Amino acid sequence: MKKLKAGILGATGVVGQQFVRILSNHPYFEVTAVTGSTKSSGKTYNDASDWSFTNFLPEEVNNLIVLDTDAKALLRNDIDLVFSALPASVAYDLENQLASAGVPVFSNASAHRMKESVPILIPEINPSHLNLVSSQLYDGGFIVTNSNCSTSGLVFGLKPLMDFGIEDVVVTTYQAVSGAGRNGVGSMDILGNVIPYITNEETKIVQETKRILGKNENGKIVPASFDVNASCARVPVLNGHLESVVVQLESEFSVDQIIETYNSFRGEPQTLGLPTAPTKPIIVKQEPDRPQPTRDLSLHVGDLGMAVKIGRVRKHKNRLNFFLLVHNAIRGAAGASVLNAEFARAKGMLE
Amino acid sequence: MKKLKAGILGATGVVGQQFVRILSNHPYFEVTAVTGSTKSSGKTYNDASDWSFTNFLPEEVNNLIVLDTDAKALLRNDIDLVFSALPASVAYDLENQLASAGVPVFSNASAHRMKESVPILIPEINPSHLNLVSSQLYDGGFIVTNSNCSTSGLVFGLKPLMDFGIEDVVVTTYQAVSGAGRNGVGSMDILGNVIPYITNEETKIVQETKRILGKNENGKIVPASFDVNASCARVPVLNGHLESVVVQLESEFSVDQIIETYNSFRGEPQTLGLPTAPTKPIIVKQEPDRPQPTRDLSLHVGDLGMAVKIGRVRKHKNRLNFFLLVHNAIRGAAGASVLNAEFARAKGMLE
Amino acid sequence: MKKLKAGILGATGVVGQQFVRILSNHPYFEVTAVTGSTKSSGKTYNDASDWSFTNFLPEEVNNLIVLDTDAKALLRNDIDLVFSALPASVAYDLENQLASAGVPVFSNASAHRMKESVPILIPEINPSHLNLVSSQLYDGGFIVTNSNCSTSGLVFGLKPLMDFGIEDVVVTTYQAVSGAGRNGVGSMDILGNVIPYITNEETKIVQETKRILGKNENGKIVPASFDVNASCARVPVLNGHLESVVVQLESEFSVDQIIETYNSFRGEPQTLGLPTAPTKPIIVKQEPDRPQPTRDLSLHVGDLGMAVKIGRVRKHKNRLNFFLLVHNAIRGAAGASVLNAEFARAKGMLE
Amino acid sequence: MKKLKAGILGATGVVGQQFVRILSNHPYFEVTAVTGSTKSSGKTYNDASDWSFTNFLPEEVNNLIVLDTDAKALLRNDIDLVFSALPASVAYDLENQLASAGVPVFSNASAHRMKESVPILIPEINPSHLNLVSSQLYDGGFIVTNSNCSTSGLVFGLKPLMDFGIEDVVVTTYQAVSGAGRNGVGSMDILGNVIPYITNEETKIVQETKRILGKNENGKIVPASFDVNASCARVPVLNGHLESVVVQLESEFSVDQIIETYNSFRGEPQTLGLPTAPTKPIIVKQEPDRPQPTRDLSLHVGDLGMAVKIGRVRKHKNRLNFFLLVHNAIRGAAGASVLNAEFARAKGMLE
C-alpha cells in the first residue's frame, strides 16, 4: 500500500516535533513537507528543530527543508493531508485555505474547534461526530480538530460514567509547562512555583468537554447538559497534565463498579486496531499515590502515551473523586490528531 | 512586664524552627527550653538545628542545650507554657503529661485535635471555641490546638462566606514539600513531579474545617453542616500551600460583593492588636494570575506570612470559585500556635 | 541634603527592578525617571513591571510613567545621573548619548566595559580605576561600569589572595536563571536540567577578572598576568551564582591563613561607610556544605545580598580550592552600580 | 546455552532496580535471587520495590520473594554470581563472605575498591586490571568492583588523552540526586538549590581515577602520576552527572584532534561485542550547549545509557576544556557491573 503524503504545519515546536516522532515509520502516512516560522524556513528540519526528539528522526525528515507556514508554499508540494500544530491565531486562515484547496486538515489548533460543522473528534469517545464534516463547505478538503490537551484527558474520565448519569463535574488541573509550547513559560515564573492561571484554558475545558460528550443530532451537536466547573494551574512539570475530578452521579455506584467500568472501556479505534490506538484507552493505577507525571506517562518500552491513567478512585458522600493523568503532547495533541487521521482513513475519507 | 517562659517541643524541625524565629524578640514570650530527638539532645540548639533560620536566632536560643522530648526533662525547667511541633504519634502522651502537670500547651500536632474538649482554635474564625478548655480535666494545664496547614487557609476563604449560606465546598490543593517536614518528601519523588496523595490530609481537611466553622453550643461543637470534598497533592514548591476552592452558596452574590467581604474581614486578634496578628487577615490579589507561592507568601519586608492571600475570585453558574494561598509553616503551623497563645493571654488564661 | 535625581534605563526587567528596590529610601538618590521597552512606555511603572518587587515600591515610583528608552525622552526630565540595566546592544549608543549630554552613567551593561577609558569598578577591589573616567571625552558626563555578574563574585575570592601571588585560576560556575533576565531561560530547557553554556560568559569572566585585578598605570589598565580558565553552566536556581574556584598560589599558605585573610578583608566602601556597602564584603561559611543559593544569599533580615559568601576552603596539593556564592542581581548587577555611584559621590564626582 | 543464575544484593534501591532492568532478557544471566532490607524481605519484589522500573520487570522477577541481605539466605539458593548494589557499610563483610563461599561478586559498592588485589574495572579502560583477582585469597570466588559514578565518566574523558601526556586534571561536577540513592537527598535541601558538597566524593574521584588509569605491574597497580583536583556539587537533576574537566597536556593538540580521538576510541568490550557494551563508548556532541542531562542520557530508543557524552571541547591557552555527561545509575553503577561480569565471562572466569 502506498503511504499518504503528510505535511506538518508548525513542525518545529513541541507539538510539531511530536507529530514527526509519531509519524516516523507510520504504516499509513509519511511526512513529506514541514513548515515553520520565518526563523526556521529554508533550513533543514534537523537544523531548525533544536529538540531532543530530533535524535529519533528518520533521515528523510531530518533533511527536509522547512517551508514557510503558508498555503502556497505547501500546495506546491504534493500532499494528501496535513497535520496542524499551529497557534490558533495563524491556524484560522491557513487551515481554511488548505481545506478549500482540497486538503484534509487534522488540526490541534483551537481556531476552528467551536464551529458548528467542525468535529472535536476523539474516536474512542465521539466517533459519530466525524460526519459533521459532510456539512463543511470546503471544496474537497475538510477540517477535523482534536480537543485542548486538558480536555482530552477529562473526557476519558467522564465518558464511561455517562451510564451512571453525570449531573455535575468539578475539575482542577496541574498542567505541565510543555503545554504552553517551547517558550511558553519562563523559568523565572515557574521554578518552585505554581501559577493558578492559564489563558482561556478553563473556558476551553468547559465548552469542549460538553461538546465532545454531546449528541450528534442530524449533524448538529447538542452539548451535554451537565455543568463543568474548571480551575487550571501550571506546575513545574515537563510533560503530563494531572487533573483532580469530582463528579456528581445520578445513579448509585461503588468504587469497584467504576474501576471495572474504566478498565473495560474500549472504543472504535481498539476494535479497528488503529496503529496509534492504545490497547486499553484507560489504565487504572491502584497504588495509593498514582498516577504521577514522571512515572506514569509511559508504562513500558514502546508505550507512546496514548492511554489516560486514572487513580485514587474514591467515593465521598454521593460523589465520585479521582485523579487522571494525560500526556498533553501525545493524547492531548499530536497523537490525538494522528489517531483522528487513522480513523478518518478507516472510514474511507482519505484515499 | 515579665515575659512568660516558653518551651518548644520538637524545636529543631521545620515547624520548630519557625517557632523559634517567631518567638525571637516576642513581647510576651521568651524561649527558655527546647526539646529534640535523641539525635539532637545534649547539643546546643545552634548545632542541632541545621537550617537557614538559625541565622536569625537570638543568641540565647542558639546556646540553649536541646533537651530530650520528655515531660520530666522539660518540667525540670521553669516553664509557663509550651508550644508543640511534635509529630502526632509522640505528641499524644507527652502533651497529656504536660497539661496534667499544669502546663498550658499550644500544639500544632493533630493528636488531640478531634477530641470534644479540645479547641482547634483560629482566633479570627472561632474565638468562642477557646472556652472548650474549661471542660478539660487536666490539673491546671490545658491543650489548645491549631488546625492542619491546608485547613488553616481554607477556613479563611470560607468564614466570610457564611452569611451567604455555604451549601457545599470542593477544595483541591497544591501543597509545598515543607508541609511534610524536613525529610518528609525525597527529591527523587518530587523533582518535576506531582504526587496526588498526602497521608490523612483529605480527612483532616474535611473534619477540621467543619469543626472549626461549627458552633459552640454550651461547650460542645456542632460541626458545620455543609459537605467538604477534598483532594490533595504535593508539588515541587518549598513553602506555601495553594488551594483551588469551589463553593456553592445559598444566596445570590456578585464577585465584587465577595471581594469586598474578604477585604473587610477582621477578627478579634485585629481588634485586640495581638502582636502576631496581621493587619488584614485576608488579602485579595487582583492580578489575573495570583496568588503564587514564590511571590505572595510575604508581601513586604516584615510580612511574617500570617495573612491568607486570595485571588481569581470568579463566578461560574451559581458557584463561587477562587484560589487561596496560605503559608503552611506560619499561618498553618507555628504562627497559628503563637497567635493562639497571645489570644489565650488576652483572655486571661496565661498569667 | 537634597537628593540627586536618578533615572533608571530598562527599569522593568530583573535588574531594573532591583535598582528600584535598592534606591527606595536611598539617602543620596531618588528615582525620578524610569524607561522601558515600547511595550511598557506610557504605562505607570506599577502596571509595566509585573514582578514581586513591585510590592516593595515606594508610591512615587509606582506612579511614574515609563518613558521610552531614548535619550531625548530622558533628557526632557531633570536628572542628575542614570543607572543602566539595558541589554548591551541597546546600551552602547544610548549611554554614549547621555554621557555626551553631561549625564554620569552607572551601567550594568557590558557594552562599554572593555574600553580603555571605562572602568569596571568594584570599589572594594579596584578603587583607583575610577579615575580612568578623566580620560573620557564626553562633555561633562562619564560612564562607569560594573562587572558581569559571575565576575563580581570571583574577584572577591581572588583579590585577598594577591599577596600570596596568584599564578593560575580555574573557575566553574553554577548560574541562576535570573542572570539571563526575565525571559532569558525557558522552563522546558532548564527544569531538572543543567545547560553547560552561557553565551559570551566565559570570555567575559576571563577578560573582566584580569582587567579588574589589573594595575592602573597612569590611566591605563595593565591586566593581571595570571591565566583565568572559565567554564559556565546554567542550573535550575532562581537567584545566586555559585562558583567553584581552584587557585595556584606562589607562596606557601594554610587554610586558616586564607580564611583569616578573607574575614579581615575590607575596602574603601567600608571605611567610607557607604550606604550600600556591606559591613564585611566577604563572609566565610564554615559549615561543611555551604554556601548554598537558597540559604546564604541573605543571612539576616535586612541583608541586601552585597556580601560574597565563601565556603569549603581547602588545600589540595599546592592549590587552594573553594566555593563562592554571589547574588547575581545585587552584588553582580544593581547593587554594584549603586555602590559605584555612592563611591563616585564620595570622591566628589557627583554634585 | 544455559544462563548463569545471578543474585542481586540490595535489589530494591535505585541501583538495584537498574540491575533488574538491565538483566531483564539478558543473554548470559538471569536473576534468580534478590535481597533487600528487613523492611522488604519476605515480600514479592513487585511489592517491595516501589519504583517506575517495576513496570518493565519480567514476570519472574516480579514474583521473586525478597531475601534478607545475608550470606546464608542467599547461599541457600543456587547462584552462579552476584551483583551488589549495597551501601559500603553493609557490603564489606557480606561480599567477603560470598566470595569466600565461592561466589564471584560484581560490586558497585566502594567497600573493597581500594584494596590492592581488587580491580576497579572498566573494561574499555583498564582490561588488564581484571587479573588482579588472581591474588585474591577467597576460596573459589572473587570480587570485581566498578568505580564511583562520577569517576566512571571522568576516566572516559581522560583515557583517550593519555597519548598526549596528561599533566594535571581539574574536575568540577554537577551531580544528580539519584546518585545519593532513593532517600539520599531531601527535597527541601535541593529544590531550586545547589549543594556544594557530597560526602567522600572528591576523595573517591581522585583516588579511583588515578588507580583506574594506573598500570598493572605484575599484579600491582601503580597509580597514574598526574594530579586530579575535584570539586563536587549536587544539583536538582534526577539522573545524569555532568562534569566540567580542564586538562593540562604535555603535547601540542588541536580541538579537532581531540574530537577525532574521542570519536575513534574503542575498547575490548566493543571488539568482543559484549551485550551491554555501547557501539561507541564516547559520543561527541557538537552542538554549542550540550551535553545536557535531560536530553542526552539516552540518544535513541534502546540506548541504555552506557556511552559517555562529551561536548564543548575547546582549547584555552595550553589547556583542554570540555564537559562530559555520564548516566550515574547505568555507566556509573549497574551497567558498569553487568559489563564487568560479561567481560569476566568472556575471559573464562565464569563457567
> What is the per-residue pLDDT across D151-179, written as a single tens digit (0 to 9) for each?
999 999 999 999 999 999 999 999 999 99
Residues of chain B where predicted confidence (pLDDT) is lower than 50: 54
pLDDT tens-digit series, residues A118-147: 999 999 999 999 999 999 999 889 999 999
Q: Quick one: closest CA in D to A188, which residue?
A: D192
Residues of chain A with Cβ-Cβ distance to D299 below 8 Å are 55
Q: Quick one: closest CA in C to A180, which residue?
A: C188
Spatial contact of D319 and D247, defined as CB atoms under 8 Å apart:
yes
**Touching partners of C (3+ C-beta pairs < 8 Å):** A, B, D
Indicate the SS3 state at residue A27: coil
Q: Is A300 left (phi over 0), alpha (psi -120 to 50) or beta?
A: beta
Confirm or reject contact between B182 and chain D (CB < 8 A).
Answer: yes
Report the residue of B15, B187, B194 to disrupt the D interface, i.e. the one with the largest count of D CBs within 10 Å: B187
Residue from the list D55, D192, D300 with its beta carbon closest to the beta carbon of A300: D55
Annotated catalytic, C300?
no
Q: Which residue out of D112, D129, D232, D241 is catalytically annotated? A: D241
Residues of chain D with Cβ-Cβ distance to C319 below 8 Å are 229
Read off the pLDDT of each residue in A198-225 and give the average, rounded to a whole number.
97
Listed by number, the residues of chain D in 2-21 with a beta carbon closer than 8 Å to a beta carbon of chain B are 14
Residues with Cβ within 8 Å of residue A9, at least 6 apart in sequence: A16, A35, A69, A74, A82, A83, A84, A85, A86, A91, A94, A95
Question: How far is Cα D326 from Cα D291, in angstroms, rounded to an integer?
Answer: 10
Listed by number, the residues of chain A in 85-114 with a beta carbon closer than 8 Å to a beta carbon of chain B are none
Task: Report the alpha-carbon angle A269-A274-A279, nearest 5.
Answer: 65
Write the CA distances from C21 to C49, C62, D105, integer angstroms.
Answer: 12, 11, 62
Residues of chain C with Cβ-Cβ distance to D246 below 8 Å are 170, 229, 231
Read off the pLDDT of each residue in A340-350 and give the average, rounded to a whole number.
97
Read off the pLDDT of each residue in D315-328 and give the average, rounded to a whole number.
96
Cβ contact B188–D14 (<8 Å): yes
Largest Cα–Cα distance of chain D, in whole Å?
61
Question: How far is Cα D238 from Cα D187, in angstroms, rounded to an integer?
Answer: 12
Residues of chain A with Cβ-Cβ distance to B238 below 8 Å are 192
Confirm or reject contact between B178 and chain D (CB < 8 A).
Answer: yes
Q: Can you say how many angstroms the Cα of residue A153 is from the centroid of all Cα atoms in its chain?
A: 9
Which helix (H) or strand (E) covers residue A296, if one does?
Answer: helix A293-296
pLDDT for residue D54 is more than 60: no
Report the residue of B194, B241, B319, B328 to disrupt the A interface, i.e. the one with the largest count of A CBs within 10 Å: B194
Chain A nearest CA to B125, separation (Å): 26
**How many helical (H) and strand (E) elements, i.e. helices and strands, does chain B have?**
12, 14
Q: Which mean pLDDT values do the consecutive 10-residue runs of chain C (351 residues) have? A: 93 92 93 94 88 61 91 92 95 96 97 96 98 93 98 98 97 97 93 98 98 96 98 98 98 98 98 96 95 88 87 96 97 98 97 76
pLDDT for residue D302 is more than 70: no
Chain C nearest CA to A305, separation (Å): 19
Q: Is D183 left (phi over 0), alpha (psi -120 to 50) or beta?
A: alpha
**Touching partners of D (3+ C-beta pairs < 8 Å):** A, B, C
The confidence score (pLDDT) of residue C195 equals 98
**Cβ-count burial of A232 within 10 angstroms (0-12 exposed, 13-18 middle, 19+ buried)?**
buried
Q: Residue C44 pairs with which residues in a beta bridge?
A: C65
Read off the pLDDT of each residue in A151-179 and give the average, rounded to a whole number.
98
Listed by number, the residues of chain A in 296-315 with a beta carbon closer than 8 Å to a beta carbon of chain B are 311-312
pLDDT tens-digit series, residues D246-295: 999 999 999 999 999 999 999 999 999 999 999 999 999 999 999 999 99
Q: Share the mean pLDDT of chain A.
A: 94
Annotated catalytic, D129?
no
Phi, psi of A25 (to 5 degrees): 60, 30
Confirm or reject contact between D188 and chain A (CB < 8 A).
Answer: no
Residue for cell digits 476552528?
A112
Question: How far is Cα C45 from Cα C11, in angstroms, rounded to an integer?
Answer: 8
Report the residue of C52, C187, C287, C303 to disrupt the B interface, i.e. the one with the largest count of B CBs within 10 Å: C52
The confidence score (pLDDT) of residue B54 equals 44
Whether omega for the bond prior to residue B291 falls within 30 degrees of 0, making it cis, is yes
Question: How far is Cα B347 from Cα B341, in angstroms, rounded to an integer?
Answer: 10
Residue A54 pLDDT level (bands cut at 50, 70, 90): very low
pLDDT tens-digit series, residues B299-331: 766 678 999 999 999 999 989 999 999 999 999
The confidence score (pLDDT) of residue B59 equals 75
Residue C115: what residue type?
A: K
Question: How far is Cα A239 from Cα A233, in angstroms, rounded to an integer?
Answer: 14
Question: How far is Cα D139 from Cα D151, in angstroms, rounded to an integer?
Answer: 30
Question: How far is Cα B84 from Cα B208, in angstroms, rounded to an integer?
Answer: 18
Whether omega for the bond prior to residue C104 falls within 30 degrees of 0, making it cis, is no
Residues of chain B with Cβ-Cβ distance to C56 below 8 Å are 300-301
Residues of chain A with Cβ-Cβ distance to D56 below 8 Å are 300-301
Q: Which residue out of C129, C149, C232, C327 is catalytically annotated? A: C149
Cβ contact B187–D182 (<8 Å): no
Its ipTM equals: 0.96
The confidence score (pLDDT) of residue B83 equals 98
Listed as own residue / partner, the contacts of A90-93 with beta carbons closer than 8 Å and 24 or more positions apart are: A90/A10, A91/A9
Confirm or reject contact between B294 and chain A (CB < 8 A).
Answer: yes
Question: Both ends of chain D: CA-CA distance in Å?
Answer: 11
Residues of chain D with Cβ-Cβ distance to C197 below 8 Å are 288-289, 312
Question: What is this structure's pTM?
Answer: 0.96
Q: Quick one: closest CA in A to C190, which residue?
A: A187
The confidence score (pLDDT) of residue C3 equals 96
Question: How far is Cα A179 from Cα B161, in angstroms, rounded to an integer?
Answer: 35
pLDDT tens-digit series, residues D91-112: 999 999 999 999 999 999 999 9
- Alpha helices, DSSP H, located in C101-220: 149-158, 187-190, 201-212
Residue for cell digits 567610607?
C272
The confidence score (pLDDT) of residue C54 equals 45
The confidence score (pLDDT) of residue C182 equals 86
Strand C104-107, strand B67-68: pairing: unpaired
Question: How far is Cα B52 from Cα C296, in angstroms, rounded to an integer?
Answer: 8
pLDDT tens-digit series, residues A236-282: 999 999 999 999 999 999 999 999 999 999 999 999 999 999 999 99
Residues of chain D with Cβ-Cβ distance to C293 below 8 Å are 192-194
Signed CA dihedral, A281, A287, A292, A294: sign only: negative
The confidence score (pLDDT) of residue D139 equals 86
Q: Residue C67 pairs with which residues in a beta bridge?
A: C35
pLDDT for residue A53 is more than 80: no
Indicate the SS3 state at residue C231: strand
Indicate the SS3 state at residue A152: helix
Q: Share the mean pLDDT of chain D.
A: 94
Strand B241-249, strand B166-174: pairing: antiparallel
Report the residue of B150, B154, B169, B170 to disrupt the A interface, i.e. the one with the largest count of A CBs within 10 Å: B170
Cβ contact B188–D238 (<8 Å): yes
Listed by number, the residues of chain B in 214-253 with a beta carbon closer than 8 Å to a beta carbon of chain D are 236-238
Chain D nearest CA to A113, separation (Å): 34
User: Around Cβ C217, how many Cβ atoms within 10 Å?
Assistant: 8
Cβ contact B186–D186 (<8 Å): yes
Residues of chain C with Cβ-Cβ distance to A236 below 8 Å are 187, 191
- Nearest-CA neighbor of D342 among D78, D2, D85, D81? D81
Q: What is the secondary structure of D118-162 as a DSSP string?
A: --B--TTT-GGGGGGGGG--SSS-EEEE---HHHHHHHHHHGGGG
Residue for cell digits 445559598?
B250
Question: How far is Cα C82 from Cα C119, in angstroms, rounded to an integer?
Answer: 16
User: Residue B270 half-sphere exposure, CB side, CA atoms within 13 Å?
Assistant: 13
Q: Quick one: closest CA in D to B176, which residue?
A: D188
Cβ contact A246–B236 (<8 Å): no
Question: How far is Cα D74 from Cα D236, in angstroms, rounded to an integer?
Answer: 37
Residue for cell digits 463553593?
B247
Q: Quick one: closest CA in B to D50, which residue?
A: B189
